[in-house]
């Protein structure tokens, strides 16, 4: 029951997609700070390599950058093969890579639909499929492997913006999490999701000119999310403390979904 044993993830190996910025960087930092070896991926190799070096130095850990485009099946396969060349097994897969798209309903484009659905939902499924042998290698009844899918409260609420493919893709992520959990729990791989609310990121920042003050005022907690909030939840899910939590979508939103007046009957 010692807290250092309940939440210990030291010596594990993780893959965090989209791990070089935003929520993905926050998760990567939290894992590195607690002794996890982390592979991160993104499309832009230059900034990715720089971020991996920065985080390795900051946390005295091992952060390894592998550039690829996960929006295509070819990209997913290439990335999975790179990991398989380097590791016999992994412990955690954090499916965080994602994209958003906003366009008026009357002119919403097929490109805006397909780009978001391909990266946010399709690639998540196929990367989980292709990483399963690596996750199974390290999985046991006593110490299962984990898949954590990053959804969104936009997949639970009706968003204010016209981001039709984004909200749909995240609702699909939440349901896919339950379906994958049902299939993989028998192989000692636990699948859960996190539905973040407002966190500082390029995605949210672009919509508010990187001024989060109004969003913070409207939040029940009167602030936006911090790295400790999301990293702490991931560490719980990946540690012994979270080993009996399966198929859940846990909000990390300051109370927006459950306590805001428009959500109360």
Question: Which range of residues forms the domain containing residue 77?
Answer: 3-263
Q: Which of 166, 199, 212, 244 is catalytic?
A: 166
Domains in the chain, number: 1
CA distance 102 to 108: 8
pLDDT digit string (tens) for 146-205?
999 999 999 999 998 999 999 999 999 999 999 999 999 999 999 999 999 999 877 676
207 pLDDT band (50/70/90 cuts)?
Answer: low
Q: Is 166 an annotated catalytic residue?
A: yes
Picking from 232, 122, 101, 112, the residue whose alpha carbon sits closest to that of residue 172 is 122
**Quick one: what percent of the chain has pLDDT higher than 70?**
96
pTM of the model: 0.95
pLDDT at 14: 98
Contact 56, 101 (CB under 8 A): no
Residue 253 maps to which CATH number?
3.40.50.720
225 by Cβ neighbours in 10 Å (0-12 / 13-18 / 19+) ranks as buried
CA distance 14 to 36: 7
212 pLDDT band (50/70/90 cuts)?
Answer: confident
């Amino acid at each position: 029951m010692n807290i250092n044993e309940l939440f210990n993830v030291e010596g594990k190996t993780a893959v965090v997609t989209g791990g070089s910025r935003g929520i993905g960087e926050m998760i990567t930092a939290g894992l590195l700070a607690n002794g996890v070896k982390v592979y991160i991926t993104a499309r832009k190799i230059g900034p990715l390599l720089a971020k991996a070096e920065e985080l390795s130095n900051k946390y005295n850990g091992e952060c390894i950058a592998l550039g690829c485009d996960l929006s295509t099946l070819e990209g997913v396969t290439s990335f999975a093969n790179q990991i398989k060349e380097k590791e016999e097994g992994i412990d955690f897969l954090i499916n965080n890579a994602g994209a958003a798209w906003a366009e008026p309903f009357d002119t919403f484009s097929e490109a805006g639909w397909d780009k978001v659905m391909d990266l946010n939902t399709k690639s998540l499924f196929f990367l989980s499929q292709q990483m399963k042998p690596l996750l199974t290698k390290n999985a046991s009844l006593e110490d299962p492997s984990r898949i954590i899918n990053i959804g969104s409260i936009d997949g639970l609420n009706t968003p204010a913006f016209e981001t039709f493919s984004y909200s749909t893709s995240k609702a699909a992520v939440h349901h896919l999490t339950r379906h994958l959990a049902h299939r993989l729990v028998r192989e000692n791989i636990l699948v859960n999701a996190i539905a973040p609310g407002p966190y500082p990121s390029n995605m949210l920042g672009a919509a508010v000119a990187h001024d989060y003050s109004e969003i913070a005022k409207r939040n029940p907690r009167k602030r936006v999310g911090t790295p400790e909030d999301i990293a702490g939840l991931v560490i719980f899910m990946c540690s012994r403390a979270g080993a009996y939590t399966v198929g859940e979508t846990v909000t990390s939103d300051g109370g927006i979904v459950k306590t805001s007046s428009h959500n109360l009957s």
